[in-house]
């Protein structure tokens, strides 16, 4: 006769187990959500990157034409500077889109459980 101590210990163990299972299930759901979110963003990032590349190419063409027009004496240097500014802006936006793409790749890799491991040889071979 232990005055219900065994039943109390059993209930405590069951409650602890249930809490651990709930935490585990929440972790799995969070992982699936993170992967799904990263994959969804990946699709839109690809379209954005393609559009920004096209914009940069168009701005580069406009700058070349403006520069040729200035050298031929048809247009003012101010228009050339304006088209150059537009080209630089398009290049900066393209770089930001590439950074977003690369950040998304890292986020997806991390969400899938990836990590960086390196192995270093204790005796690297020396060149002859």
Beta-carbon contacts of 106 under 8 Å, excluding residues fewer than 6 positions away, are none
The confidence score (pLDDT) of residue 6 equals: 85
Residue 101's closest CA among 32, 51, 34, 43? 43
Report yes or no on 120 lying in a domain: no
Dump pLDDT digits (tens) for 24-70: 999 889 888 988 888 888 889 989 999 999 999 999 999 999 999 99
The confidence score (pLDDT) of residue 71 equals: 96
Return the half-sphere exposure (C-beta side, CA atoms, 13 A cut-off) of residue 124: 4
* Average pLDDT of the residues in 64-79: 96
Dump pLDDT digits (tens) for 106-124: 988 888 887 656 565 666 5
CA–CA distance, 47 with 79 (Å, rounded to integer):
30
Report yes or no on 85 lying in a domain: yes
> Around Cβ 67, how many Cβ atoms within 10 Å?
16
CA–CA distance, 112 with 107 (Å, rounded to integer):
9
CA–CA distance, 104 with 93 (Å, rounded to integer):
16
pTM of the model: 0.66
Report yes or no on 51 lying in a domain: yes
Report yes or no on 23 lying in a domain: yes
The total number of structural domains in the chain stands at: 1
The confidence score (pLDDT) of residue 123 equals: 61
Report yes or no on 117 lying in a domain: no
CA–CA distance, 60 with 82 (Å, rounded to integer):
12
Kindly tell me if the per-residue pLDDT of 127 is higher than 70. no
Report yes or no on 28 lying in a domain: yes
Neighbour-count burial of 99, counting CB atoms closer than 10 A to its CB (0-12 exposed, 13-18 middle, 19+ buried): exposed
Report yes or no on 48 lying in a domain: yes
Report yes or no on 82 lying in a domain: yes
Q: Which domain holds residue 62?
A: 5-110
């Amino acid at each position: 006769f232990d005055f219900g101590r065994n039943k109390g210990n059993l209930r405590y163990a069951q409650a602890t187990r249930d809490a651990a299972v709930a935490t585990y299930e929440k972790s799995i759901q969070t992982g699936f959500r993170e992967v799904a979110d990263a994959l969804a963003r990946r699709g839109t990032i690809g379209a954005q990157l393609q559009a920004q590349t096209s914009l940069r190419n168009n701005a580069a063409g406009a700058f070349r034409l403006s520069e040729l027009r200035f050298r031929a004496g048809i247009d003012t240097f101010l228009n050339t500077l304006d088209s150059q500014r537009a080209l630089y802006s398009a290049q900066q936006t393209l770089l930001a889109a590439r950074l977003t793409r690369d950040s998304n790749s890292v986020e997806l890799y991390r969400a899938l459980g990836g990590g960086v491991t390196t192995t270093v040889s204790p005796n690297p071979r020396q060149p002859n």
